[in-house]
Structure 1
Amino acid sequence: MRIRDARLDELSRLREIERAAGAPFREIGMPEIADDEPPSIEVLTGHVRAGRAWVAVAAFPVAYLLADLVDGDVHIEQVSVDPAFARRGIGRQLIEHAAAHARDIGAPALTLTTFAEVPWNAPYYARCGFVVLADAELTPGLHEIREHEAALGLDRWPRVCMRLLLADR
């Protein structure tokens, strides 16, 4: 699968991927997450223009990753894979691409926040080498992200912050 920078003309497709990737949450009793709106065109545009939006492409984008910079680390804001292309290592390829970007800019780690008990969330990231951070290990930026998530009601289900130190890889 080829990974490249996302383009502005693909933003509607990224929203389609997000909707499709959300559907499995309905099957595990999280319909609110399944029905959540994808990132807006404006949010996606900001990531593309910042050079922190990447797509996995077959004949067309089938997955994407959005990243931000948080307290010196590259923070994975979103990874979504179209379920028709799931279980092929595409998410891992996108994470590896984000890690390469982080190394290029001198960031020591990747971070993310995710659902602790959803099989394709925290357990998946643990298999990719991420470790759960204790509250005392959270940076100010990660605390802010978690507070925002709580305000959105995401803490209805257990959530964790995770980090992948790049020096170890």
Structure 2
Amino acid sequence: MSKRMADMVRWATAGELPGLVEVELAADGLFADVGITFPPGTTMVEEAGDPGTVLVEGEPPRGFAMVGLVDGNVHLDQLAVHPGHMRQGIGARLLAAVCDHADAVGAPGVTLTTFRDVPWNAPWYARHGFETLPPQDQGPELRALVRHEREIGLEVAPRVVMRRAGYHQGREPVS
């Protein structure tokens, strides 16, 4: 993580994980405005048992990015910013930190799944260097993850898989 990112974005502490559920639920509430309602039991941050998989900004955290590894790529499982703190660059800083982390661990890139037509989802990630990853280019773990999301009912609107190549793959950092 660059010095600038380290000043604002950091790894969560174990004590902060429970409070992130409130951030996620508040952010998820915005989806109702575009006709998306999540099924019960799909709150992802509740599954984060390891604070070393969650980047946060703020004290208490105003936003978070939960990551894992899928097919050798850093996978962005969830990015959420509390609506009361949106449009301040928190999401972009968290996303840049995820990409910095991927580069630091030598991952070839960052993958994610997201809603295709929600303005603050796929179009936002595209503005940050992500491209749609067609099924034939998805690895076995990523395909299994997409199947799992369908099985738990997360695909309540059209979704896409996206990928951003790592910096060492010829991409410049997002500023």
- TM-score, normalising length: structure 1: 0.90
**Aligned positions of 1:23-34 closer than 5 A:** 23-32=29-38
Root mean square deviation, CA, Å: 1.6
Q: Who is 2:15 aligned against? A: 9
Residue segments in structure 1 that go unaligned for 5+ positions in a row: none
Residue segments in structure 2 that go unaligned for 5+ positions in a row: 1-6
Aligned length: 163
Q: Who is 1:154 aligned against? A: 154
**Aligned positions of 1:86-101 closer than 5 A:** 86-101=86-101
Indicate which of 43, 55, 69 corresponds to 1:38. 43
Q: Who is 1:54 aligned against? A: 55
Amino acid at match of 1:106: G
Is the contact between residue 20 and residue 83 of structure 1 (CA under 8 Å) also seen in structure 2? yes
Higher relative contact order (CA 8 A, sep 6+): 2
Partner-residue secondary structure (3-state), 1:32: coil
Q: Who is 2:165 aligned against? A: 165
Is the contact between residue 19 and residue 37 of structure 1 (CA under 8 Å) also seen in structure 2? no
Partner-residue secondary structure (3-state), 1:154: coil
Alignment partners' CA distance in 1, 2:141 and 2:114: 15
Partner-residue secondary structure (3-state), 1:156: coil
Q: Who is 2:76 aligned against? A: 76
Q: Who is 2:113 aligned against? A: 113
Alignment partners' CA distance in 2, 1:21 and 1:80: 6
